[in-house]
Amino acid sequence: MTEMPEKQDPVAAQRRSIALITALSIAVLALSAASEEQAVLFREDFATLDNWKPFFFPKIKTHSTYTIERNDDRHVLRAESNASASAIVYQKSFDVYRYPVVRWRWKVRNIYQKGDATVKEGDDFPMRVYVMFEYDPEQAGFGDRIIYGIAKSVYGEYPPHSSLNYVWSSKEHPERIITNPFTDRAMDILLRKGAALVGTWQDEAVDILSDYQAAFGTKPPSRVRIAIMNDSDNTGESSVSWMEHIEVRK
């Protein structure tokens, strides 16, 4: 005798379907979150400055100050200079070929009356993001090894091989990229120019590899460090600026 199939409970079947759909949705969300987490190398929201260390220039005795300030429901970095210069440097380097994109949000209270990116006397910015490409002695020629060896004896570590300086320029120069007046190993990229947007938050997103190629005409070294700086030692002026966050990502 042929057995009759058991009768399906429609309510139980519906519950199993809902449970399956829910489990799949959770799995998809988890995978998406993991993928996004992997895409971002780090994001600094400035609850503390534990991930940063100060950098001082040997010949500049007056230093800029970097503190955490409360802004509504979030923390922001406050950078203040008064005829001064110094920076804060993120303590870990990263591979720019894996993580070439940097995003941040910044605001400046004022620009400099004497600020001019084309001359040494005006080479001050109320805020800049330094992207410093590390010097590799194993890849350097004989002459560079001597020069960088001397520099290391002065500074205690090798200076950067080269750098991109993303700046808020006081003057409205027509160029986007200007060779730094102190060295052709540093290129200033003028993201914001003049006073039109002073006092407002601005969002930035840059591709380091593309900008390096445009600035230097070649590919960069692979290891990179990020620094933030407010300086006014050349103009002798004062400024305050803020950064809400900064992140490095794919």
CA dihedral 88→91→93→96, nearest 10 degrees, is: -40
Among residues of the chain, what percentage have pLDDT more than 90?
A: 70
Please compute the mean of the pLDDT values over residues 136-153 and round it to a whole number: 55
Domain definitions of the chain by residue range: 9-41, 45-249
159 has pLDDT over 80: no
pTM score:
0.80
pLDDT band at residue 18 using 50, 70 and 90 as cut-offs: low
* Residue found under tokens 């002798």: 236
**45-249 belongs to CATH 1.10.357:** no
Mean pLDDT for all residues in the chain: 86
In the block, residue with structure tokens 């920076």: 87
Query: What is the pLDDT at residue 152?
Result: 53
Compute the average pLDDT of residues 15-34. Answer: 57
pLDDT reported for residue 138: 59
Q: In this structure, what token pair is assigned to residue 140?
A: 């350097």
Mind listing the pLDDT tens digit for each residue in 30-41? 555 545 558 999
Express each pLDDT in 171-218 by its tens digit: 999 999 999 999 999 999 999 999 999 999 999 999 999 999 999 999
pLDDT at 190: 98
Choose the weakest-confidence range: 26-35, 51-60, 115-124, 185-194.
26-35
Please compute the mean of the pLDDT values over residues 149-161 and round it to a whole number: 58
122 in Cβ contact with 170 (< 8 Å): yes
Q: Is 146 helix (H, G, I), strand (E, B) or coil?
A: helix
